[in-house]
Amino acid sequence: MKKELGRPTNLTDEVIAKAKEYLIKGFEDVGNTVPSVAGLGCYLGASRSSLYEWAGKDEDFSDTLDAIKMKQEMMLIDGGLGSSMNSTIVKLMLANHGYSDKQKMDISANVQPAFKIIFEDDEPNELPN
Q: At 94, is the pLDDT very low, low, confident or very high (cuts 50, 70, 90)?
A: very high
Least confident of 1-10, 74-83, 106-115: 1-10
In a domain, 125, yes or no: no
Q: Model pTM? A: 0.70
- Tell me what pLDDT residue 1 has: 43
| Distant-in-sequence, close-in-space partners of 77: CB < 8 Å, separation ≥ 6 | 94
Q: Rounded to 10 degrees, what is the CA torsion of 26, 31, 34, 40? A: -50
For residue 78, give its domain range: 13-95
Kindly give, in sequence order, each residue whose CB lies less than 8 Å from that of residue 115, ignoring residues fewer than 6 positions away: none
Judge whether 122 lies within some domain.
no
Per the domain annotation, does 102 fall within a domain? Answer: no
- Is 79 part of a structural domain of the chain? yes
In a domain, 61, yes or no: yes
Decide if 129 is inside a domain: no
Q: pLDDT band at residue 102, thresholds of 50, 70 and 90?
A: confident
114 found inside a domain: no
Q: Is residue 31 part of a domain?
A: yes
Give the count of domains, the chain.
1
